Every structure is written in C-alpha cells, then in structure tokens.
Amino acid sequence: MTTHRDLEIYDVTIIGAGPVGLFGAFYAGLRKMKTRIIDSLPETGGQLSALYPEKLVYDMPGFPEVLARDLANEMTLQGVRFKPKLTLGEKVATLIQNSDGIFEIGTDKGTYLTKSVVVCAGAGAFSPKRLDNPTIEPFEGRGVHYFVTDKSIFADKRLLIVGGGDSALDWARNLEATAESIILIHRRDTFRAHDESIDWLLNYSTVQTKLFWELESLEGYGALQHATIVNNVTGDRERLDIDACLLNIGFHASIGPIRDWDLKLEGSAIVVNSHMESSRAGIYAAGDICTYDGKLKLIATGVGEVCIAVNYAKTFIDPNAKLFPGHSSGMTF
C-alpha cells in the first residue's frame, strides 16, 4: 500500500490499543489532548481480545471477576469517549524527531505526526512457546490449542492442560464446568501462579493434578485421542485418553522495531523514571512494556502508570499546563 503522510499534528499518540492504551486515551481526553491510538491488531482490546477473550480476569478493581472480552469492550467504550483517532491494523516501525521537536511515527501504511508519544505496547508481539515434539504439530487446530477464543469447543471433552503458570491454572478453573474432565500436568512441584489459584487447584478443584509429569507424545487417527506422559523423577509412563490438549507453557514476546528507537532498555522493557518518561524526552511508556524499580505487571498498575505518563506529556507539550488537573469527579463531561 502506498505510504501517506497525515499532516495533522496530534498532542499525543498512544502506541497500543490494549486496556492501558485505551485508558490512556480516555485520560488524555480529560486533559483536552488531541489523541491518536495506533495498534497492529484490527480491533481494540489488545491481548484481552486477541489471545484470551474467554478468560476470566480477577485483578481489575471494580470487578470480582470479569470475562476478558467484556473488560475489553467496556474499556473500549471508555477509551473512545473523547473520540481519539483510531489507527488500527498498522504496525509501527520507525520513530524520529524533526528539528522542530515534532515526532514522526512511521507504520507499514503511513506516517503520523505527534508532539508526544506514550508507548503502551504490552510485552510486544506474542507467539506461544512450543514444545520440541514432532507428535504435537499434526494435531494443532485438531485438538491441540495454545489460546482459547471459544470455551464451547471444550464442552464435554477430556482435557489435558500442560503448564504451571497463571494461564494454565486460570484455564483449568475457567474450563472446570465446561470440560468433562481435566488433567493438569506440570514438570515441577512449584507453580508460577497466584497463591489463591494454587490453593484452589490443590484443595478445592476437581482437576486431577500430576506433578513432575511431562508430555511425551500425542496420538490419534484424524483427531486427538491419546497422550503419553512421563514422570521426570521416576521415569514412569502413563497413557491418557483425551480429546483436547491445552499447552500453556508461556509465550515468546518481541518488541520489534521499538528496539531501534534509541531508548534505554532492560531486556524487552523500556526503562522509565517516576514521570513514566523514557530516556528520550517526550516519549513515555506505561504497562507491561515499561520497567522501573518495583515494577508490578498488572492491568491495575498499568492504568495508573498511563495517567502519570499522560499528565507529564501534557506539561511537556504545554509547560504552562497544570500537572494534576484534579479528580474526574470534579470535571465537566
């Protein structure tokens, strides 16, 4: 597609239309900032919409539990309240600053101008980690899953879940009432999950949990029918009758071209100060993409970080603006 240049200059451009970016757009609207959101996905919501719309979220204030897709929908409604410019389905590539201080953001489809930038790109582009096992690939999409976009496909199925992190335990909990049965195997006896989830799994659930077991092979004729698992302590093997396998062993994440933006990084995260400002003036970051001493990766903390970022972006482009304008309850909508 022919590259075009949008000559409108925006006060702030938010990279990422996940929950943090959406709340940032809402808050920028409160600050009367002309706002653009850019995201590579064709819809808003980020991981909530694209990776696990059927997953329950437990750590968002105001919701004892909420489906990810419902949270994404509500945050979208809030995020577009002040009519930011949505630029979806475009992959951000370049970021340069002109002699007049204006930033140029280049995507695979266009070039956009902005006075400040807030990066809310999560952990970047995701791809699931895969086991180096030739028996798995033939069943991908035919019984083997890495994401869950429709819980109904597991209805009355004998489900094997592989993993010991939050995703594995959350899906075991979420699918307990849907699947006929669930077996969860984990290669260790310690979990990388919330304490409450571990307590539920081991003491209250109907999920059969097998520790120190790993997936050795999958078998079936046309569809998944069996799994062979092996105990990595004793060497014992067991053949399971299953209809579906959910592999939750983590993700590979890449921040892609952001690495070339001359920002200070720690691993794949942008280092920010207490203003949520990066090593380049006028460029801020919030959510999982940023890091600082004491960083906690939650949606709840990300939405607070993006408010700080937006407030400082406001004073960056207008030094006479108030840093903190007051509470939203005192504002006129």
Residue with tokens 């690939």: 137
pTM for this prediction = 0.78
Widest CA span of the chain, in angstroms? 70
Which pLDDT tens digits describe the chain residue by residue (333 residues)? 445 566 899 999 999 999 999 999 999 999 999 999 999 988 999 988 877 788 888 888 999 999 999 999 999 999 999 999 999 999 999 999 999 999 999 999 999 999 999 999 987 766 788 999 999 999 998 999 998 888 999 999 999 999 999 889 999 999 999 999 999 999 999 999 889 999 999 999 999 999 999 999 999 998 999 999 999 999 999 999 999 999 999 877 788 999 999 999 999 999 999 999 999 999 999 999 999 999 999 999 999 999 999 999 999 999 999 998 877 766 655
Among candidate residues 227, 249, 271, the one where a domain is terminated: 249
- Provide the H-helix boundaries in the chain: 19-30, 47-50, 68-79, 166-175, 195-203, 299-317
**Do residues 269 and 240 both lie within one domain?**
no
| Cβ–Cβ under 8 Å, residues 102 and 9 | yes
pLDDT score, position 71: 96
| Cβ–Cβ under 8 Å, residues 212 and 191 | no
**Do residues 88 and 226 both lie within one domain?**
no
Residue 24 sits at φ, ψ, to 5 deg, of -60, -40
Q: How many domains does the chain have?
A: 2
Q: Three-state DSSP class for 173?
A: helix
Q: Which helix (H) or strand (E) holds 117?
A: strand 117-119
User: Pick from 35, 43, 46: which is nearest to 124 by CA?
Assistant: 46
**Do residues 52 and 142 both lie within one domain?**
no
d(CA 68, CA 57): 6
pLDDT score, position 1: 40
**Do residues 40 and 118 both lie within one domain?**
yes
Residue 298 sits at φ, ψ, to 5 deg, of -140, 155
**Do residues 66 and 137 both lie within one domain?**
no
Full residue range of the structural domain in which residue 167 is found:
130-249
**Do residues 122 and 134 both lie within one domain?**
no
> The tokens of 114 are what?
């902005």
Among candidate residues 249, 275, 293, the one where a domain is terminated: 249
Pairing label, strands 117-119, 110-114 = unpaired
pLDDT score, position 191: 97
Among candidate residues 233, 249, 265, the one where a domain is terminated: 249
Q: For the domain that residue 196 is a member of, what is the CATH number?
A: 3.50.50.60
DSSP one-letter string for 234-288: T--EEEEE-SEEEE-S-EEEE-GGGGGS---EETTEEE--TT-B-SSTTEEE-GG
d(CA 222, CA 242): 14
User: Pick from 105, 80, 102: which is nearest to 28 by CA?
Assistant: 80
